Amino acid sequence: MPVNEGQVMQFQFASIADFLSMNGHGVYVWIAYGISFAALAALALQPALRRRSMQRELARQQRIQQRRRERTQARPEPLAVSE
Amino acid sequence: MAWQWFHRLGSPRWFYQKTSGWLPWLAAASVLLLLVGTVWGLGFAPQDAKQGNSYRIIYIHVPAAFLALAGYYIMAFSGAIGLIWKMKLSYAVMRAAAPIGAVLTFIALFTGSLWGKPTWGTYWVWDARITSMLILLFLYVGVIALSRAFAREQVADKACALLALVGTVNIPIIYKSVDWWFTLHQPATIKLTESSSIDPSMFYPLLVMIIGFYCFYAWTLLVHTRNLILQREWRTQWAQQVLRGEPLGDAG
């Protein structure tokens, strides 16, 4: 039985336990909402994770380049010592 | 002059910078609307006379199904633009739309299945509406699989666009399936031309959820597209600046 029939903005359940059980339909309703919001959250978070891995990859590549540059600078070039 | 915006729209960098400012607004709007709609739909909307409380699944089911279908149009349309004008950006939009559409279609099917158990007595039935939605899921998954199947990006883009375009045949079938065939699925609750068969006290929270899902869709589509752009422009100076968190100059 809905509480306060006719009034729209009224909480429809007598207690929290009532709200959770929803006359036996609670299982279906809550699982539907839970899984749906989990899926939406995954959709929202995936780009952030992907972006972080791109940032790590870029930093890694730049470290490698930097090291390569340092190595070539340390080694004297043959033409430079001809004088 | 009139075409300048069109060429600019094709520029990934211009798009990336232009959309930065929209993201927080879209994110805030979708969180707020989805929160209000969920609380309203779960706790404050009246119980359905026939279906009891199980009908509350409608507040997820219908918006997700709406966006699953609208998202397919967006994916196929941007694929077509990519094929016709060879626009890199529209291919990025097409690819971003695929996983989002797949998740929304999954949500529509999953919540529908949970709604079916207390209402029809079964989780699944091979009827026209449900089967055509399952085909929609396969089309989305097919586009995702195709986009990963080719070593060359351009080839993958074209293949995805073709599959997406061929798959549009399914969309009118989904819309009309409840009218053309005998089905357990109830006919459309909301109609644009006639008055809706739903009470305002149940309809307003649904409207809030639908607008919330639209905002969420726009936000995730932008975020996914921007990520794909960065991935594709990986070698360019501006993309590396963005990834390092440095401010970008004006794109011009």
The answer to the question of residue B125 being in a domain is yes
The answer to the question of residue A79 being in a domain is no
Beta bridge partners of B52: B48
Given a contact cutoff of 8 angstroms between Cβ atoms, the answer to whether B32 and A8 are in contact is no
Q: What is the pLDDT of residues B156-186, one digit of tens each?
A: 999 999 999 999 999 888 888 877 777 778 7
Across A26-35, A68-77, B135-144, B168-177, least confident range: A68-77
Given a contact cutoff of 8 angstroms between Cβ atoms, the answer to whether B120 and B184 are in contact is yes
The answer to the question of residue A6 being in a domain is no
- Residue A51 belongs to what domain range? 28-74
Q: Are the Cβ atoms of B43 and A40 closer than 8 angstroms?
A: no
pLDDT value at residue B252:
47
The answer to the question of residue B74 being in a domain is yes
The answer to the question of residue A16 being in a domain is no
Q: How many domains does chain B have?
A: 1
pLDDT of B109 strictly over 70: yes
The answer to the question of residue B71 being in a domain is yes
The answer to the question of residue B138 being in a domain is yes
Give the separation between CA B115 and CA B50, rounded to whole angstroms: 13
Give the separation between CA B30 and CA B179, rounded to whole angstroms: 32
The answer to the question of residue A11 being in a domain is no
Residues 4-23 of A with CB under 8 A from B: 5, 8-13, 19, 22-23
Q: Are the Cβ atoms of A13 and B43 closer than 8 angstroms?
A: yes
Residues of chain A neighbouring B137 (CB-CB closer than 8 A): none
Q: How confident is the model at residue A74 (pLDDT cuts 50, 70, 90)?
A: confident
The answer to the question of residue A17 being in a domain is no
Q: How many domains does chain A have?
A: 1
- Residue B232 belongs to what domain range? 26-45+52-187+205-244
The answer to the question of residue B199 being in a domain is no
Q: Are the Cβ atoms of A33 and B231 closer than 8 angstroms?
A: no
Nearest to B107 among A22, A26, A39 (CB): A39
The answer to the question of residue A32 being in a domain is yes
- Neighbouring C-beta atoms of residue B224, cutoff 10 Å: 23
Long-range contact pairs involving B196-200 (C-beta distance under 8 Å, separation at least 24): B199/B46
The answer to the question of residue B196 being in a domain is no
Query: What stretches of chain A show up as alpha helix (H) in DSSP?
Result: 16-21, 26-74
The answer to the question of residue A80 being in a domain is no
